[in-house]
Homo-oligomer: A and B are copies of this chain.
Amino acid sequence: MIRKPTIYDVAKKAGVSIATVSHVINNRKVGKRTKEKVLKAMKELNYQPSVLASALTGKRTSTIGFLLPDLANPFVAEMARRVEDRAHERGYNLVICSTDFDTEKEALYVSLLKQKRVDGYILAGGFNNVNVLTELLDEQIPVVLLAESYPSLPVNSVKVDDFAGGYEVASHLISLGHEKIAVIAENVTSSRERIRGYKQALQDKGLDVHEDMIVVSDSSVEDAERLAGELLDRSDSPTAIFACNDILAIATILAARKKNLCIPQDLSVVGFDNTLLSRSSDPPLTTVEQPIQDMCSQAIDLLIEEIEGKSKIKQRIVMLPRLIVRKSTDVHRKNTRME
């Protein structure tokens, strides 16, 4: 393997010192003529500066650590894509780590990324390890939370108003005449917020909240399908189910299909996230759209401001979600399932 050209090679070829080459790399004041010589030498040698070496002297690595629960989840994958796009636009690379909501993995990956000296972190969608987060904050390492937030911690975050989302979903269902509305949630903050919104809507409309109508899944399709099935088997089964994300909603539909229930006639189902899944499912899913693109750009922008030291004030950005009504919800028809 042939050795890559270094700054010394360029310097020699251009007949200048390495300091001068360094100056042109970082385009500082250099004589026009010398600059040209250096540029020419760089081109001829096909020289590419080593990020490692320059980072070692204190400069940035231009890479961002992106921790997320599971890349295989379409909503998460789409976030990743948007984050990546913005990061690249700004000149940063992304190293991605799926944590599966596992606090140990979270700690492990952060530790690894620290050794690689990433410039900052985006923690997305359900980062559970508060210790690690606090540590990062204490060490003044740039962090922004995406699609979640820790109200008690001074940390940048970007998310939708999950409470409002939950509220809208429940209101929609109630306006359709549903009263027995179950919820399938995940064990993450955003789900909890959505549930809060759901409860608030019920109360505002004078309906009772039944805690046993709220179940928490481990985020897998299988588990959600099982839970939905159980819900539907109850004597007092719900006429509508609010799934806290589209995958859970799809699982719910699969469960209902197994029991020969028609959607939306026998059961209304609402998802969350407006992923590709919600358009392709049968029937197309009523769901809640998050402004993913904006959220992700903002998150990266916030992070980079902090990395580049341009701002020190922490921000909590909350965007508004939007209910998208498709075919999986309909008016509740009394007696429909009384045969």
- Which residues of A are interface residues toward B (Cβ below 8 A)? 1-2, 48-53, 55-56, 61, 63, 70-72, 74, 77-78, 80-81, 84-85, 88, 93-98, 109, 111-117, 139-140, 221, 247, 250, 253-254, 276-277, 279-283
Name the B residues within 8 Å of A280 (CB-CB): 250, 253-254, 277, 280-282
Name the B residues within 8 Å of A109 (CB-CB): 88
A283 and B282 alpha carbons, distance in the complex (Å): 7
CB distance from A277 to the nearest CB of B (A): 6
Q: Are A77 and B88 in contact (CB under 8 A)?
A: no
CB distance from A329 to the nearest CB of B (A): 16
Q: For A94, give its contact among B84, B96, B253 (CB under 8 Å).
A: B96
Which residue of B is nearest A253, CB measured? B280
Q: A70-B81, A84-B96, A88-B97 are in contact. List 10 more A-B contacts (CB 8 A).
A: A48-B114, A53-B56, A61-B116, A71-B81, A72-B74, A81-B98, A93-B95, A93-B112, A94-B95, A254-B279
For A94, A280, A283, the residue with the greatest tally of chain B CB atoms inside 10 Å of its CB is A280
Name the B residues within 8 Å of A247 (CB-CB): 276
Name the B residues within 8 Å of A1 (CB-CB): 139-140
